[in-house]
Amino acid sequence: MARLFLVRHGITEFNSSRRFMGYSDIDLSVSGFKQAERLCGRLAGEKFDAVYSSDLKRALSTAEIITSDNNVDIIECSELREMNYGYLEGLKFEEINQRYPEVAKSISGFNFRTMVFPGGESFMEFIERTRKFLDRLKKYKSSQTILVVSHNGALRVLICCLLKLDFEYWRQFRIDNASLSILQTHDRGVIINLLNDTSYL
């Protein structure tokens, strides 16, 4: 594969109010657009051989801003969407605990093998859907640089897959809004050069 720049979208109103967002197509907040502009400055001078983004507005808006100086098309990928939380979308955890106590218990205990979101995906379906994205990267050489703009959950799935980690470790990666992580892929494995950098914000 290649050198991967992994970016989480800028902040949204749902992020600020700590609501489950998932497939809800929420755009960036004013602060989120400012974060993306600062990230654009951080990436000034970088040339990307390909840019992939989730097809949800908050990721696409981030991708458009940070690649404004690059003459490269953004490839929209539904595989890179956040988890589909179904009926939980738009709710805070306290509200989920009141309406769906068993689901709230499952989230807190993080039994990802049995976790299912009513009206949405199971965690295992989410993993299988997201990991398919990596097939797109097999055609690139190690000398090429690929930008991937996605979401908290999806990026953590990709990192676990690339590092060949069990998904029990999924929650141990912190991926903040508008953060940058850089992974170098080789035939013999993957090296983390940068993880969850937000020093430019």
Q: What's the DSSP call for residue 24?
A: -
- Choose among 201, 200, 199, 197: nearest CA to 6: 197
Residue 108 CB partners (closer than 8 Å, separation 6+): none
- For residue 134, what are its two tokens? 């990596």
- Choose among 96, 99, 98: nearest CA to 107: 96
Residue 186 appears among annotated catalytic residues? no
- Among residues 151, 178, 183, 185, which one is catalytic? 151
Q: How far apart are CA 169 and CA 166, in angstroms?
A: 6
- Among residues 3, 9, 19, 58, which one is catalytic? 9
Residue 9 appears among annotated catalytic residues? yes
Burial status of residue 97 (CB atoms within 10 A of its CB: 0-12, 13-18, 19 or more): middle
Active-site residues: which are they?
A: 9, 151
